Amino acid sequence: MGWHQIVFHATILLVIGFFVAFAAQRAEGCLKRFGRYLACWLYLLAAVSIVLGAVFTWYHGVNWGYYGYGHGYGYGMMGGYHGYGGNYPAPAPAPDAGATPAEPPK
């Protein structure tokens, strides 16, 4: 996940938490308490998303190559971890691949 996505998700959580806290301030009874807890939970999720995003980016690195972010582990659905351009030898040619076809029997 890129930094722009981390900040976007955290901002959305903070804005929703603000509106929940604002609505809970005007409520009464159990709904007021539930709204405060829900707003705190949303603020906590925003903080955790920033911290975990930073940790995962630090430990797993970022590939900002030609194809953009997130294409470091192979290309395409079946690319896998070593599917494209790995350090593997080329496959051996098939037997008699370059031979001319034999003369058909008469």
Which tens digits make up the pLDDT trace of 55-95?
Answer: 887 777 655 544 444 444 544 555 555 444 555 566 676 77
Which tens digits make up the pLDDT trace of 31-52?
Answer: 999 999 999 999 999 999 999 8
Which range of residues forms the domain containing residue 28?
3-60
In a domain, 86, yes or no: no
In a domain, 19, yes or no: yes
Q: What angle do CA 47, 60, 66 make, to 5 degrees?
A: 110
In a domain, 95, yes or no: no
In a domain, 102, yes or no: no
Contact between residue 6 and residue 50 where contact means Cβ atoms under 8 Å apart: yes
Number of folded domains that form the chain:
1
In a domain, 96, yes or no: no
- What pLDDT, on a 0 to 100 scale, did the predictor assign at position 91? 66
- The pTM (predicted TM-score) of the whole model is 0.55
Range 14-24 average pLDDT: 95
Long-range contacts of 14-18 (CB under 8 A, 24+ apart): 14/42, 14/43, 14/46, 16/42, 17/42, 17/43, 17/46
In a domain, 77, yes or no: no
In a domain, 45, yes or no: yes
- What pLDDT, on a 0 to 100 scale, did the predictor assign at position 78? 52
In a domain, 53, yes or no: yes
- What pLDDT, on a 0 to 100 scale, did the predictor assign at position 67? 47
Residues in CB range of 72: below 8 A, 6 or more apart: 61, 63, 65
